[in-house]
Amino acid sequence: MNLIIDIGNSLVKLAVFDGNKIEHKEVVELDLILVRIEVIKSMFSTIRKAIVSSVGKLSESDIEAIASHFELVILNSNTKLPFTNLYKTPKTLGVDRIALVCASVKSYPNNNVLIIDAGTCITYDFVNSKNEYLGGAISPGLRMRYKALNNLTANLPLLDTELPNSIIGNSTETSMHSGVVFGVLKEIEGVILEYEQNYSDLTVILTGGDSNFLSKQLKSSIFATSNFLLEGLNFILQYNSNE
DSSP 4: E
Chain centroid to Cα 171, Å, comes to 34
Binding site annotation covers 9?
A: yes
Binding site annotation covers 147?
A: no
Binding site annotation covers 117?
A: yes
| Burial class of residue 73, CB neighbours in 10 A (0-12, 13-18, 19+) | buried
* Residue 96 annotated to the active site: yes
Q: Which of 224, 164, 214 is nearest to 189 (CA)?
A: 214
Binding site annotation covers 19?
A: no
Binding site annotation covers 11?
A: yes
DSSP 36: H
DSSP 199: S
Cα angle: 191, vertex 196, 198; to 5 degrees? 100
Binding site annotation covers 94?
A: yes
Binding site annotation covers 145?
A: no
Binding site annotation covers 8?
A: yes
18, 62, 96, 210: which one is catalytic?
Answer: 96
Binding site annotation covers 227?
A: no
Binding site annotation covers 21?
A: no
Binding site annotation covers 169?
A: no
- Write out the DSSP string of 74-134: E-STTS--SSEE--SSGGGS-HHHHHHHHHHHHHSTTSEEEEEEESSEEEEEEE-TTSEEE
Q: What are phi and psi of 236, to 5 degrees?
A: -60, -45
Question: Could you give the residue numbers annotated as active site?
Answer: 96
Going by the annotation, the residues of the binding site for substrate are 87, 94-97, 172
Going by the annotation, the residues of the binding site for ATP are 6-13, 120
Going by the annotation, the residues of the binding site for K(+) are 117
Going by the annotation, the residues of the binding site are 6-13, 87, 94-97, 117, 120, 172
